[in-house]
Structure 1
Amino acid sequence: MIVVTGATGQLGSIVIEDLLARGVPAAEIVAAVRTPEKAAGFAERGVQVRHADYNDPASLASAFEGADKILFISGTDVGQREPQHRNVVDAARAAGVGLLAYTSILNADTAKLVLAGEHQATEAFIRESGVPFVFLRNGFYVDLYTSTFAQNLEHGAIVDASGDARLSLATRADFAGAAAAVLTGEGHENKAYELGGDLAVTMTELAAELSRQSGRTVEYRNITPAEYAAFLVSVGLPQVAADVYADSRVGMLRGELYTDSKDLSRLLGRPTTSLADAVAAGLKQLG
């Protein structure tokens, strides 16, 4: 039995669709979610839906009962994830799972990003638990950038603070495919995969591709990380979140969101989604 936590989230839901497409019987998949009502669509297709709240150890124990493999998708409560993640690891160990796949962050061994701290702590919890594991160290989703295309086109600019840093961006679907491959494959125990797109890109290249496909001029406007934080606050983000995003840009400039491992394409068994295809998909979403 395969348990997917955060199964109604953007990544988890794609993983479940991928598992079904690979022929995993619906009854052998558990969608572990905080709000079971949101997983009604999966339940209608025969997927087991179980309540699982990272703050509630009892719910995790029930959700993981009978699990052979668990995809542990990291929580979204930045700053509160260490105790939440420890609950998940403890429950997985108690359930005797054969494999715990955790969605970590790219280059977790060396990254100095603020975002990396909780992932590093969680990887340590998992190693200490003795549970067979796989670390899926995901880079940034290109979807985070394509989701802002409407604003980029309106203002004729992508505003960011990553300079000429090369980013190993990949689509959410590619990361989900890698997770599904691990969950349905063999020989992944106690490995860490550095996952990123085959061809790293800069924001200048992203702006150029968006311009080419949209037929409208979009420039890359590079600013400092401090200016970027102020910009994010000006468009409605809380200061704490803005500071975390700005810090991630500092990490990008250090090369922490780049990898040449090709682990992602190897797990997928195909090249990762190209920048051109990702941009085309993003523009299609605009209608």
Structure 2
Amino acid sequence: MIVVTGATGQFGRLVIDALLERGTPASEIVAAVRTPARAADLAARGVEVREADYTRPETLVPAFTGADKLLFVSSNGPEADRIAQHTAVVAAAAEARVGLLLYTSLYAADKSPLGLARVHRDTEVRIAATGLPNVLLRNSWYTENYTGSLAGAVERGAIAGSAGEGRVASAARADYAEAAAVVLLSEDQAGKVYELTGDNNWSLAELAAEAAKQSGKEVVYANLPAEQYTEVLNGVGLPPFLVELLVDSDVQIADGALEGITGELSGLLGRPTTPLADTVSVALKG
């Protein structure tokens, strides 16, 4: 039995879709979700739905019981909250004695300078301490991290950031989700660490140029000092933890933190990763 956490989230749903598309019987998949009512469509497809709320540890062991393989999709939110949630999930996986624990970590988490990496390093250490057979899926950036707000940027005529000429070896969210499904369905995976990146890297200036090309409108990249970018993000009402994460990420990208290309993602997929232009096209078509 395969249990997928966060199964009503954008990533978890895509993993379940990929498992079903690859012929996994729905009866062998469990969607572990915070709010079961939101998974009615998965239940209608024959997937078992179980409550699993990272903030309510008492829900986790029952959700994970019987799992031959558990995909632990990392949470979102302030760092302290995430560490508490991840600690609860790892402890529950150990108590439930899952056969194999797969964790969606961050590219080069063990040495990444990104502030975001702290949560992932902490979680990886906790997983190792359990002694459970495990796999680390260290995902680089989703292209959608930028294209999700691209339509608005096109209307404004500018993409703002602090990444300078730094490059990002991103891939589409669906690429990473499909890779997770591939690993879930493969044998002899325990102990593997996958550094997953797109096949190509790009700069925010190149993203702006692609958006301009496809939209027929002028779009430029406005590279801002970190302090000014912080003011911009605060001005649109983002929560402080997210502002800090976004600014720090851009500053580290400027220094090359996400430019690495490994080829491991396309190797798992058996095809090239989704090009930037394709994800831009989807974003601009709405």
Which residue of the partner structure matches residue 8 of structure 1?
8
Tell me, yes or no, if structure 1 residue 108 matches structure 2 residue 124: no
Q: Name the SS of the counterpart of 1:220 in structure 2.
A: strand
Structural mapping, 1:98-137, within 5 Å: 98-137=99-138
Q: Name the SS of the counterpart of 2:193 in structure 1.
A: strand
Q: Give the TM-score normalised by the residue count of structure 2.
A: 0.97
Give the alignment's Cα RMSD to 1 decimal: 1.1
Which residue of the partner structure matches residue 36 of structure 2?
36
Which residue of the partner structure matches residue 274 of structure 1?
275
* Structure 1: gaps (5+ residues): none
Which residue of the partner structure matches residue 54 of structure 2?
54
* Structure 2: gaps (5+ residues): none
Between 78-87 and 2-11, the greater mean CA deviation after superposition: 78-87
Which residue of the partner structure matches residue 20 of structure 2?
20
- Does the aligned pair in 2 maintain the 1:27–1:48 contact within 8 Å? yes
Which residue of the partner structure matches residue 97 of structure 2?
96
Tell me, yes or no, if structure 1 residue 187 matches structure 2 residue 180: no
- Does the aligned pair in 2 maintain the 1:162–1:250 contact within 8 Å? yes
Equivalent residue letter for 1:131 = L
**Deviation of 1:244 (Å):** 1.9
Equivalent residue letter for 1:205 = E
CA distance in 1, matches of 2:233, 2:180: 31
CA distance in 1, matches of 2:82, 2:97: 22
- Does the aligned pair in 2 maintain the 1:167–1:252 contact within 8 Å? yes
- Does the aligned pair in 2 maintain the 1:194–1:259 contact within 8 Å? no
Q: After superposition, what is the alpha-carbon deviation per residue over 1:149-173, rounded to whole angstroms, capped at 9, x for unaligned? A: 2211111111111011110111110
CA distance in 1, matches of 2:142, 2:226: 20
Q: After superposition, what is the alpha-carbon deviation per residue over 1:163-192, rounded to whole angstroms, capped at 9, x for unaligned? A: 111101111101101111110112321111
Q: Give the TM-score normalised by the residue count of structure 1.
A: 0.96
Equivalent residue letter for 1:243 = E
Equivalent residue letter for 2:272 = P
Q: Name the SS of the counterpart of 1:260 in structure 2.
A: coil
Q: Name the SS of the counterpart of 2:168 in structure 1.
A: coil
Which residue of the partner structure matches residue 147 of structure 2?
146
CA distance in 1, matches of 2:161, 2:273: 24
CA distance in 1, matches of 2:132, 2:259: 29
Tell me, yes or no, if structure 1 residue 203 matches structure 2 residue 204: yes
Q: After superposition, what is the alpha-carbon deviation per residue over 1:130-162, rounded to whole angstroms, capped at 9, x for unaligned? A: 111111111111112111122111111111110
CA distance in 2, matches of 1:205, 1:112: 24
What percent of counterpart residues are identical?
A: 51
Structural mapping, 1:136-175, within 5 Å: 136-175=137-176
**Deviation of 1:57 (Å):** 2.4
Tell me, yes or no, if structure 1 residue 239 matches structure 2 residue 240: yes
